[in-house]
């Protein structure tokens, strides 16, 4: 039912945005931004259930919390970058959207380096 609600919010937001863009283009952008923020808040509500499930899994399996927090940060970076990039593209600023995407890719790569190094050390210890 939640997916139906999100789809309905998105479609209504797009229809209103297109309708208002005919009169004043900035109103269409504001409606698009408000719709995106509303959907973002709905996602944040569902995110607590995912975090709770990950914590439960961590209780069953002995995992280092650094890896889970890194994974959560990477997911957050990618979602925020996608959100901001979409807003910039919708406003007609594709160059800025591209820069946001490049920064997000570099940030994800920088965050994942310690995990990659730990994996390589583990492989090296198995091979030795």
The domain in which residue 112 lies consists of 64-128
Same domain, 14 and 73: no
Same domain, 38 and 91: no
Q: How far apart are CA 15 and CA 20, in angstroms?
A: 9
User: For residues 13 and 35, is the Cβ–Cβ distance under 8 A?
Assistant: yes
- Dihedral, CA atoms, 39, 40, 45, 48, nearest 10 degrees? 140
Quick one: pLDDT band at residue 1, thresholds 50, 70, 90?
low
Same domain, 8 and 37: yes
Inter-residue long-range contacts of 87-92, CB under 8 Å, 24+ positions, other chains counted: 87/32, 87/33, 87/36, 90/29, 90/32, 91/29
Quick one: pLDDT band at residue 85, thresholds 50, 70, 90?
very high
Percent of the chain with pLDDT over 90: 26
Q: What is the pLDDT of residues 2-51, one digit of tens each?
A: 889 889 888 898 888 888 877 787 888 888 889 988 988 888 878 888 88
Using the 3D structure, point to which of 61, 85, 103 is the last residue of a domain: 61
Q: How far apart are CA 58 and CA 89, in angstroms?
A: 38
């Amino acid at each position: 039912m939640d997916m139906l609600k999100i789809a309905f919010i998105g479609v209504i937001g797009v229809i209103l945005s297109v309708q208002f863009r005919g009169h004043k283009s900035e109103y269409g952008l504001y409606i698009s931004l408000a719709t995106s923020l509303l959907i973002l808040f709905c996602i944040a509500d569902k995110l607590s259930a995912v975090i709770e499930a990950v914590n439960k899994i961590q209780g069953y399996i002995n995992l280092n919390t650094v890896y889970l927090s890194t994974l959560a940060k990477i997911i957050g970076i990618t979602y925020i970058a996608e959100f901001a990039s979409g807003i910039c593209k919708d406003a007609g600023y594709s160059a800025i959207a591209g820069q946001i995407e490049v920064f997000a890719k570099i940030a994800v790569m920088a965050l994942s380096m310690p995990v990659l190094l730990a994996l390589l050390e583990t492989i090296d210890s198995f091979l030795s």
